[in-house]
Structure 1
């Protein structure tokens, strides 16, 4: 784990994340001109479903992801019907649905988000490489209750700007980090749902110790989400033991023959009985 966040520490991401972030800026440029229209559409919508509240409980909650492909695995479920898959997840006890809308490497589309949001009764999160406030208004207009913000892909002034834009649009945020420096940035913008990704998106390498190592550093007032590399309840247990409130799972359940049963098997993982506390958070920085 890296040390505290430095105000001069951010550089543009490299590798796969760098490519996806550049492409995200290009896609965002096409949305900026529609911002007034998006705001008007959002004003006509009912309030978003609560996101954070549903991610706490005696057992680990599951954010179940609709995912056709990825840069690390290639095709996962190229013919996947987003609505049918999301409904299967809901039947399995998922607390929320994550819908990938990135088109070039993940096979996603904004229409998937729109259709899923109208077909399930649980919160839906837009998962993409979001870099401009207009993309958050776009997500809310498509029915999302929350959106993913990846700290590593956002410059120092971009993260607070996007968090503020999400709040204005009526969206919750899942703020994703991988080390202490990024966690400090997330806490500086008062993130209430913080995800720890076991996968380094620049190299695509998974280190299953990342989430269990960093989650104890997340204050108990925040919801802590472990992400990537979990296929079975045994894979979830280290994060649960570290104090994770929820997990985000995509590839394993998107490719499953019975996604309802797969989600149900993951929701049975008990959480740690004692909450994360200030002493644990201080120990991370000692």
Structure 2
């Protein structure tokens, strides 16, 4: 059993437990459930923003503890100030050290879209995301059938959420495209063994229809890479570990964005 299989198995157990503790009616009656979400595309395409989806991530299965000493409120506000187009917040506890509270704090502290970064295997998690204040959900093609992507995407869009579909290869891309997706994220990290290869994004760039926002995820640590990804059509860049491994993630992003701007001048 690889890492992804273990995560999915645990996630199904978590969802079953959550359903026993908090009913759908309770989720639907939370104050955040009736808030109008921010529109991902509006911020990602804003020329005054960086295109970076800045991620708050304490740990990962491949790296272990990345940064356990920082505040989600402080870091996400610094990301926002540095020009993030959106925030990505891990809500998986067992493998990534995240929580629902992290997302709620990020949402209440910022005025840009927040992505619930998790492994969605059940529609209940989409309702959770809405109740916690998320604006964007992540659907991972590797763990969902094409029909599940349609069903989950339709539910999310009905709630006003933006949908980011994550793919790792052309086969996942072609079988997963549907009208309920706003953005295609190419994950340069192989989720079965957590190795990374930035060439994954370059290989898939032209295969993603222009109807969708194009996002490159993971393995981005050099401003020159952003420049090259933009040249092949990518509009968004999910970066977490590169910032989180520093003592001051917000400052690390600020310096990174400054270097990106210098390359474009």
Cα separation, partners in 2 of 1:227 and 1:44, compared to 1, 3 Å: closer
Residue 213 of structure 1 aligns to a residue in which SS?
A: helix
CA change 1:29–1:228 in 2 (3 A) is same
CA-to-partner distance for each residue in 1:88-123, whole Å, 9 max, x for gaps? 101111011100000011100011001110001111
Query: What secondary structure does 1:31 align onto?
Result: helix
1:86: which partner in 2? 76
Give the secondary-structure state (helix, strand or coil) at the position aligned to 1:247: strand
Instruction: Say if 2:7 is the partner of 1:20.
Output: yes
- C-alpha displacement at 1:57, in angstroms? 4.9
Aligned to 2:17: 30
Which of the residues 191, 194, 205 maps onto 2:195? 205
Q: Does 1 or 2 have the higher relative contact order (CA < 8 Å, sep 6+)?
A: 1
Q: For the residues of structure 2 that align with 1:220 and 1:156, how far apart are their CA atoms?
A: 20
Comparing 159-168 with 140-149, greater Cα deviation is found at 159-168
Deviation at residue 172 of structure 1 after TM alignment = 1.0
Pick one of 222, 226, 230 that aligns with 1:232: 222
Worse-matched range after superposition: 168-177 or 135-144: 168-177
2:32 touches 2:133 (CA, 8 Å); kept in 1? no
Larger helix proportion, structure 1 or 2? 2
8 Å Cα contact 2:33/2:132 also seen in 1 = no
Q: How big is the alpha-carbon RMSD for the aligned residues of Structure 1 and Structure 2? A: 2.0
The change in CA–CA distance for 1:217 and 1:253 in structure 2 (over 3 A counts) is: same
Normalised TM-score (structure 2): 0.90
Count the aligned residue pairs: 258
Gaps in structure 2 of 5+ consecutive residues? none
Structure-1-length-normalised TM-score: 0.84
Q: Distance in 2 between matches of 1:73 and 1:39?
A: 36
Cα distance in 2 for partners of 1:83, 1:178 equals 31
Instruction: Describe how 1:59-78 pairs up with structure 2 within 5 A.
Output: 61-78=51-68
Task: Verify the 8 A CA contact 1:253 1:259 in the aligned structure 2.
Answer: yes
Q: Is the 8 A contact 1:39 1:137 kept in 2?
A: yes
Unaligned ranges ≥5, structure 1: 1-13, 274-286
